Amino acid sequence: MLKCEIISVGTELLLGQIANTDAKFISEMLTSLGIDVYFQTNVGDNKSRLLECLKIASNRSDIIILTGGLGPTMDDLTKETVAEFFGLKLVVDIDTKIKIESYFKKSMREMTQNNYKQALFPEGSKILPNDNGTAPGCIFEKNGKKVVILPGPPSELIPMFNNYVYPFLKSLSNDIIVSRVIKIFGIGESKVETMVSDMLLSKNPTVAPLIGNGFVTLRITAKSDDVQKAKKMIDDIEVSLRKIFGEYIFGVDDDTMESIVLNLLKDKGSTLSTAESCTGGLLSEKITSVPGASEVFKFGAITYSNESKENILGVSGEIIRRHGAVSEETAREMAMNVKNISKTDYGLSITGIAGPSGGTIAKPVGLVYIGLAYKDEIYVKKLISNGNRDKVRLNSAMHALDMLRRHLTGLKIDY
């Protein structure tokens, strides 16, 4: 079994300015490939200490993955130091040089001399394109060690790993590892775990809960010498999980609640508009983060004040005065009216109290009403969320999307 070690370079880690989520991500992926990670080390932007780490790592690991320190500044010294340790020269990659030049030309920004550093790599490296930034990564082999160098920012590292490093590492092992993530919404994490406690003990395939962002995920991982066999093992587990969780499973793998809802709307040829109060645009932001959203999403109203609810969205002032802006009645009108003025098939609304202030005994922080209008149908769901302002807002947006998913797939909306 291959042994891998992760070295993350960056003084910001040692100063405690950020937690190392890169090492977490890479370790999770390596585990799914059947590669053992025995050590993760964080070291500063310091040549001698990085050399020390490389010496230790090359004595005990087959694969060394380094993250961070690929930027254009003086502090960024990962490639130089790794090249020195392995006795390799740094050479210019012409393609990268041209790309960096055109990047600066396009954004009409001045290019400084230190930007050229990003086009230098240890000789013999395979270059890993950076589709989300200027610093490419690289892979080389020397003295029987495989060395992978990746940029630090997660928005650059994650796609680079998925597109270029994962296939490379996968090719090193005879074991076929297949995994699938099942995403569940509407049941709490500890309840999910209790419901599948026997499965969590299984050795192959394994079933493991992951920390999700607003929902619960279970990762199924199967190991075999044959892809089809591994897939079959996973399919069988998925069938069992679907028997247990049924309609609470909203997607698998890269699915997000918003991508699922958008695809359902596209399939049905239906259009959507939204009216938000306490979420302040989070719902529409999630929906429009999916490429191609404009096919189905037409309009969103952030009616943050009572006046805008009344004057722009046409919510009855009488209703707001009698029931309050945070009420079933207001949520109902918001959903119906936004649907009507934007001439869409669906209207989805959220009104609530995100906190930290604004709560009362009758209407506490976390109280949210979600409205869904479709033709003459209208549904309102009352929600009480725990947690801070961010959590209340996220939970509200997720529940609104789930309500729409349920309507689009003919499921019961209230549960």
Touching a copy of itself, residues 228-267 (CB under 8 A)? none
Q: How many positions of this chain bind a copy of itself (CB under 8 A)?
A: 115
Q: How far apart are the first and last CA of the chain?
A: 47
78-85 vs 47-60: helix axis angle to the nearest 10? 50
Of 2, 62, 75, 91, the one binding a copy of itself by CB under 8 A: 75
Check binding of 220 to a copy of itself (CB under 8 A): no
Check binding of 74 to a copy of itself (CB under 8 A): yes
Closer residue to a copy of itself (CB): 114 or 228: 114
Residues in the chain: 415
Sign of CA dihedral 63, 67, 72, 75: negative
Q: Transcribe 74-96 into DSSP letters.
A: TT--HHHHHHHHTT--EEE-HHH
Check binding of 165 to a copy of itself (CB under 8 A): no
- Taking residues 83 to 122 in sequence order and writing x for each that binds a copy of itself by CB under 8 A, - otherwise, the string is --------------------x--xxxxx-x-xx-------
Supply 162's token pair: 């998925």
Identify the H or E element spanning 177. Answer: strand 176-184
The residue range among 29-37, 80-88, 162-170, 240-248 that interacts with a copy of itself, by the rule CB under 8 A, is 29-37
Identify the H or E element spanning 42. Answer: strand 36-43
Supply 5's token pair: 């070690």
- Taking residues 331 to 370 in sequence order and writing x for each that binds a copy of itself by CB under 8 A, - otherwise, the string is ----------xxx-----------xxx--------x----
Of 2, 14, 91, 158, the one binding a copy of itself by CB under 8 A: 14
Which residues from 261-320 bind a copy of itself, rule CB under 8 A?
Answer: 273-274, 276, 278-285, 287-289, 291-294, 297-305, 307-308, 311-312
SS3 364: coil
In DSSP terms, 57 is beta-bridged to none
Check binding of 162 to a copy of itself (CB under 8 A): no
Check binding of 189 to a copy of itself (CB under 8 A): yes
Of 43, 160, 218, 234, the one binding a copy of itself by CB under 8 A: 43
Phi and psi at residue 69, to the nearest 5°: 80, 30
